[in-house]
Chain A
Amino acid sequence: MYLRIAKEELKKIVSRINRERLAGLIDHTELKPHVLTKKVYSLCDEAARYEFASICVNSARVKEAAEYIKAKDYDVLICSVVGFPLGQMKTEAKAFETREAVNDGAEEIDTVINVGKLRELSSAKGEEREKIRNYLLSDIASVVKSADGKIVKVILETGYLTDAEITEGCRISIEAGAHFVKTSTGFGPMGALPAHLKIMREAVGNKRGVKASGGVSNFLDALRCIYAAANSDELLNPVYFRIGTSSGINIVNTVAWAKYSDAWFVDEIPCRYCPANFISKLPEEIKEYYIGLCRNCNILSNAELEERRKYHEL
């Protein structure tokens, strides 16, 4: 399950990317509950200066951001999260929040799928399964409709899902009319892991977007995400790939180093980017699922596997 990325592959990505191109893929994000207005303003200033794809804020902050951007005459898009971060609110509430955000000036909507319902889908059969699937479709479609043509990204919170559930979540999102699928809220487990991003790209194909979010804090993280979900010139485009992060400035500031030396990448430490390494806060059955995958991983020695098993059991 661990996605090994060869040094040569990352070198190829570096040859395709520069600071400006990387910045254009980043949704410059600030979603903390304690954020102040001045921080929202500085987010706008930074996005204008670094030419990020957008700023990403909570819906209550969209209006003030839009007014500030207009006053400053910036060319900055606003992305609003909706139903964030749990996704467990009513469909009507998500639709209302979406309409408000768009009216306030949001050009993009990142909504959270009902993660629990998506998980229930796995074990449901027949009519019950159809019912849940329709609920999820309708939940997302109502946001798409309320967004009135604006870009909609669906956050799956992949850290709570099995590989099959991730694939199913992607399919439902696209079927409901969403333009992007997105890994995480940043408030759940794991964040954006290459192994999950690869599954998502395979599920949505090359005509829809994938957004990596949660824990992308340096340019090497960003390159790994690009490898997993946007490994071609065509996909390396904000229409098909985004990175959601609050570390955008650090990422674009450090990417310059890659051009001076190819010493920046040596083989990864096994497990570092493996989902099975991030399971301590997961529901029991999901934890078991990842422990099972971990035991099957042929990267670790038996002794290391034993050590990991003990760690998980603790």
Chain B
Amino acid sequence: MYGWHGKLLRVNLTEEKAKIEDIDEHMLRTFLGGRGLGAKILFDEVKPETDALGPGNKLIFTTGPLTGTSAPTAGRYSITSRSPLTGTIFDSNSGGHFGVDLKKCGIDAMVIEGCAQKLTYLFINDGSVEFRDAGEIVGLDTHKTTDYVVKHTDARARVACIGPAGEKKVLFACIINDRHRAAGRGGLGAVMGSKQLKAIAVLGTHETQVANPEEFEEARKLAHEAIMKNPVTKDALPYYGTSVLVNIINEIGALPTRNYQEGFFKDADAISGETLRERIFVRKTACAQCPIGCGRVTKVGSEEGEGPEYETIWAFGADCGINDIEAIALANYKCNKLGLDTITTGATIACAMELSERGLLTDYIRFGNADTMLQLIDKIALREGIGDKLANGSLRFAQDYNADYSMSVKGLEMPAYDPRGVQGMGLAYATSNRGGCHLRGYMISAEVLGSPYMVDRLKTEGKAGLLVLFQNISAAVDSLVLCRFSQFALNPEHYARMLSAVTGIEYTDTDLLTIGERIYNLERLYNVKAGAGEDTLPKRLLTEKLSAGHSKGHVVHLDVMLQEYYTIRGWDDKGRPEKETISRLGIGGDVNAN
């Protein structure tokens, strides 16, 4: 088999047993890997009513057919589970180098089941699995954990682990690999913590076999060249990193400010990519096989780390009313070490700040106070004091105070784009299968950055069709598993050509879009069965007009776009896939079966 190894490693923590299984070739062809393969395995093996933090939930690590090749940005891997934060099916992917070494273990997927008796870490060496006592690293942060595991396994090993937040089952704990890269969203770190699994070290020697090396080299060159010619991937991201967006998004009046109460942050320049470069930038960094290199190594005082990324800068900056880039960077370092999703952490603190300012919360937590923000991060990770409530995310936190100020969709906090100023992004948040996420269909690309072409951000016309296209190709790219940023420059033909050359199976661009559509519908079926979430937005975005900036006076016209979206998707008026759609895509499942 080319591209894939055709193998799955099943690890049962309860019984401390592991075995290698064959993966059905048809499943690999039709779901590819990464997000698609993870969704299919979860759909087949984990019932939607399963407790996300119970032993019945599974944590599925996957790579893609291009992982381990020299395809641009092919250094990523994906993790899928049922999210404790949203109750939906949830995948999160991450860069760095862990993904390549995971695949070198000779597997395409690793399914973690059950729950260990005590805190454990795994050493997976070329497919053989060792269960090791993690007693000495209880409560350690992700950096110290990584150092310990590398020291006690192999200096060449790559490590993914959780910090104290994961151990404490903070509902938005993340999984950190290679010290700085995060599978950030949805609380998959809490799932790992609930299984008493502290870390996984991987080391392998299995190379990915390419069916047609010459054709692959030609396809790879074309893709690489396209990335090097696209204005976003050749200039903006390499030079400023993702934080280049701060000023751009603020300029259009869509930088959510003070828990989405406004869309314009007057101090945006103080937290911009330009300021980051002047004040704390040390050097660039890149994930495996990435020609873009959007990563930033930064330094504040004696602390050095990677990031903050744009969404993180927003979450701890504009959303909390903070204009101090150093404090934001420190918050980012803290989250990476403690193992917290920066977006949900910042947004949940912002929610608390609004509750406090409105007198609904007695604790004195004010917008603009960086010290308070930094203290709260520690409290959340350790579930201390008010941190214990905040550790459940903004939706549950606001509900505790009978308030409506959680800026989340399906329980997942929205990131750094106010959809009142980018209408298609509003539809993207509402219909995302994992909740308030910008990455399922990154409409900013067309609505703001003009890639692959510019559309009017304030209009609703045509947005449903465009979003379906973006969501489908994104699902396919997440299954390959390549970086979302590659999509600024590459079109479906580029991906299909590389995939065909690697696997020896002829894929067209429309085949890839169909695979993406299949994955999107499978995820939706799971959510429908799980009764997880509604396709809507926080009331504020639908009723409160922005008061300043270049999106002033706008709300999201979701109702106009949503029904059109359902029609294009072949879903009913409640967002459930119709039988004809399910049948056309060849996925099992009756939405009413449960």
Contact = CB atoms under 8 A, between A and B. Distances in A.
Contacts of A46: 225
Given A247-B229, A256-B491, A266 B461 contact: yes
B456 interface: yes
A253 interface: yes
A95 B512 CA distance: 54
A269 interface: yes
A260 B464 CA distance: 13
Interface string B474-490: 00000000000000011
A261 B466 CA distance: 6
A46 B224 CA distance: 12
B492 A254 contact: no
A256 B226 contact: no
Contacts of A254: 451-453, 491
Interface in B193-231: 222, 225-226, 229-231
A290 interface: no
A241 interface: no
Contact of A262 (B456, B465, B513): B465
A217 B234 CA distance: 14
Contact of B455 (A249, A258, A263): A263
Contacts of A265: 453, 455, 462
Contact of B465 (A49, A249, A256, A261): A261
B450 A218 contact: yes
B462 A266 contact: yes
Given A46-B225, A218-B450, A249-B229, A263 B469 contact: yes
B493 interface: yes
Contacts of A250: 226, 229-231, 489
Contacts of B225: 46, 49, 249
> Which of B229, B451, B461 has the most chain A CB atoms inside 10 A of its CB?
B229
A187 interface: no
Interface string A139-151: 0000000000000
Contacts of A220: 453-454
A267 interface: yes
B428 to A, nearest CB: 13
Task: Give chain B's interface secondary structure class.
Answer: helix
B424 to A, nearest CB: 9
A264 interface: yes
A225 to B, nearest CB: 14
B452 A260 contact: no
A217 B229 CA distance: 11
A256 B452 CA distance: 9
B456 A219 contact: no
A226 to B, nearest CB: 15
Interface in A190-219: 217-219
B92 to A, nearest CB: 27
Contact of A256 (B222, B454, B489, B492): B492
A218 B493 contact: no
A205 to B, nearest CB: 31
Contacts of B454: 218, 220
A253 B509 contact: no
Interface string B392-404: 0000000000000
Contacts of B229: 247, 249-250, 253
Contacts of A256: 491-493, 509
Interface residues of A, number: 23
A257 interface: yes
B459 interface: yes
B465 A263 contact: yes
B185 interface: no
A266 B455 contact: yes
A172 B280 CA distance: 58
A49 B450 CA distance: 25
B379 interface: no
Interface string A257-288: 11011111111010000000000000000000
A49 B218 CA distance: 10
Interface string A95-109: 000000000000000
Contact of A260 (B446, B461, B469): B469
A266 B453 contact: no
Contacts of B231: 217, 250
Nearest to B456: A266
Given A219-B453, A253-B494, A264 B222 contact: no
B509 A263 contact: no
Contacts of B446: 264
B463 interface: yes
Interface string A158-190: 000000000000000000000000000000000
B491 A264 contact: no
B443 to A, nearest CB: 11
Interface in B3-59: none
Interface in A220-268: 220, 247, 249-250, 253-254, 256-258, 260-267
Given A253-B489, A254-B491, A260 B513 contact: yes
> Which of A218, A257, A267 has the most chain B CB atoms inside 10 A of its CB?
A257
A257 B454 CA distance: 12
A267 B453 CA distance: 13
B463 A263 contact: yes
A254 B222 CA distance: 13
Interface string B415-452: 00000000000000000000000000000001000111
Contacts of B510: 260
Contact of A261 (B450, B469, B491): B469
Nearest to A256: B491
Contacts of B455: 263-266
A265 B456 CA distance: 9
B453 A257 contact: yes
Contacts of A260: 469, 492, 509-510, 513
Contacts of A261: 462, 465-466, 468-469
Nearest to A19: B493
Contacts of A267: 456, 459
Nearest to B509: A256
Nearest to B467: A263
Contacts of B450: 218
Contacts of B465: 261-263
A249 B469 contact: no
Given A49-B222, A254-B491, A256-B493, A266 B452 contact: no
A262 B465 CA distance: 8
Given A220-B453, A249-B225, A263 B230 contact: no
A267 B493 CA distance: 28
Interface in B505-520: 509-510, 513
A262 B489 CA distance: 20
18 contacts: A220-B454, A249-B226, A250-B226, A253-B452, A253-B489, A256-B491, A256-B492, A256-B493, A257-B452, A257-B469, A260-B513, A261-B462, A261-B466, A262-B465, A263-B463, A263-B465, A265-B455, A266-B462
Interface of B: 222, 225-226, 229-231, 446, 450-456, 459, 461-466, 468-469, 489-494, 509-510, 513
User: Which 9 pairs of residues, A with B, have the shortest CB-CB distance?
Assistant: A263-B462, A263-B466, A254-B452, A263-B465, A256-B491, A249-B229, A257-B452, A261-B469, A220-B453
Given A254-B451, A256-B492, A266-B461, 7 more contacts: A250-B226, A253-B226, A254-B491, A256-B493, A260-B469, A265-B453, A265-B462
